[in-house]
Amino acid sequence: MELGTTLLACFILALVIKLSRTAPKGQLPPGPKGLPLVGNILDLSLKELWLSIAKWARNYGDIVYIHVFGTGLVFLNDAEVAVDLMDRKGSIYSDRPHLVMAGELCGGYNIMSFTGYNDQFRRQRRLMQRALTPLVIKNYHPLLEMETVPFLKRLLSKPESYVDHIRRYAGTLTLNVIYGHQVTSDDDRCLKIAEACADVLANDIAGGGFLWLVDVLPFLRHLPMWAPGSGFKHKAIRWKAQLTEFATVPYDEFKEKMENGTAKTCYCSTLVEAAGKSMTEQDEFDIKYSANTMYSASLDTTITVVTSFMLCMVQNPDVRMKAQAEIDRVVGKDRLPDFNDRPSLPYLECILSEVLRWTAPVPYALPHRLMEDDVYRNYFIPKGSFVFANIWSMTRNQEMYPNADAFSPERFEADLDEELKKKRDPKNFVFGFGRRRCPGMYLAEQSTWLLIASMLAALDIQKAVDDKGNVIEPQVRYENSVFRMPAPFKMDIRPREHARRLMNL
DSSP state of 87: I
160 in Cβ contact with 310 (< 8 Å): no
Say what angle helices 317-330 and 281-315 make with each other, to 10 degrees.
110
Element (H, E) at 196: helix 189-199
CB-neighbour burial class of residue 102 (10 A; exposed 0-12, middle 13-18, buried 19+): buried
Q: Centre a 10 Å sphere on the Cβ of residue 428 and count the other Cβ atoms it contains.
A: 15
Best CA proximity match to 432, nearest among 391, 397, 371, 386: 391
DSSP 3-state of 229: coil
Residues facing residue 386 across a β-bridge: 73, 369
Tell whether residue 312 is among the known ligand binding residues.
Answer: no
Helix axes 281-315, 162-179, angle to 10 degrees: 150
Burial class of residue 152 in the structure, from the number of CB atoms within 10 Å of its CB (0-12 exposed, 13-18 middle, 19+ buried) = buried
Closest CA to 93 of 376, 440, 394: 376
Burial class (CB in 10 A: 0-12, 13-18, 19+), 212: buried
Q: How far apart are CA 108 and CA 239, in angstroms?
A: 10
Distances (CA, A) of 106 to 205, 208, 244, 451: 8, 15, 9, 33
Q: Please give the C-alpha separations between residue 287 and each of 115, 195, 290, 301, in angstroms, as whole numbers.
A: 15, 20, 5, 22
Q: Shortest CA distance to 94 belongs to which of 72, 75, 70, 121? A: 121
Q: If you write DSSP's letter for every residue of 63-85 in order, what string do you get?
A: EEEEEETTEEEEEE-SHHHHIII
- In this structure, how many other beta carbons lie within 10 angstroms of the beta carbon of residue 64? 23
The binding site for heme comprises 438
The binding site comprises 438
